[in-house]
Structure 1
């Protein structure tokens, strides 16, 4: 999917923590949230991030899905594919991404989606979940897609992300 003029890239990543947010098994992840999210917000090309309460060490984990406090979502907007890739694969985020199986269940369903939004639009969690459902139900399209559908996603291809 090519980036349309006047559009930014929105992404949603959902996961279910192996334990409640105050459990020692997810402590390293929870303690890194402020660092990683703060870095993301300072990255060139960062546009917007869904926020939680602002309570230190919680990130946006209060945005639980389906009433399950361990099922959390991350929703961000980036200027372009290169900006998101630079953050995901070229910063300390990659170190925590590589450790994700220590803190998150392996989900059988698709749990990551991207889509183009008009500049200035702020996506809602409901909108993002609708895009994720569309990708699960219908496969990649201009409405909802993944890394493999973005020709400009060069870092993802180098990392052979699964």
Structure 2
């Protein structure tokens, strides 16, 4: 019997403007609200935090200060799906083009972890690189590899 596993996700994004810029204020000002909803959501396990803000915006992903990172762990794919597509998070996801540039490289990946494991940034970098290099595998994948979840097919933006 396979041990229970949790679902880790990494999502990086590049802000169109510096984080202090008023043009990204609606996003920045609501990070705490959205993260609080995540933390109260059934199936939430852990999220990356910098200790200084309502998220992880103080954690450097690269030399580019406009690149921000979000990483979390969920008990199941369904729990992550519910948070992403059926909470206030969806409203901000729908507005992402206002605040974020399109990245040419892979920016989102998921993978299974043992319960209690908190992924590192290096691990997340490896998963993004693997997904970009190999496409979906058992070690790094996107929504399309999770047949038990379907909301992403109809609710995502093109």
Q: Runs of 5+ in structure 2 lacking a partner? A: none
Write the deviation string for residues 17-75 of structure 1: whole angstroms up to 9, x where unpaired.
011111011000000000000110110000000001233xx521011221221101100
Residue in 1 that maps onto 2:17 = 19
Residue in 2 that maps onto 1:30 = 28
Q: Runs of 5+ in structure 1 lacking a partner? A: none
Cα distance in structure 2, aligned partners of 1:41 and 1:51: 12
Give the TM-score of the pair, scaled to structure 2.
0.94
Q: Which residue among 45, 48, 52 is the counterpart of 1:47?
A: 45
Residue in 1 that maps onto 2:143 = 147
CA contact (8 A) 2:47 2:73 kept: yes
For the aligned residue pairs, the C-alpha RMSD in angstroms reads 1.3
- 1:75 aligned onto 2:71: yes
Residue in 1 that maps onto 2:129 = 133
CA contact (8 A) 1:49 1:75 kept: yes
Q: Figure out how many residues of one structure are paired with residues of the other and give that number.
A: 157
Is the partner of 1:68 in helix, strand or coil?
Answer: coil
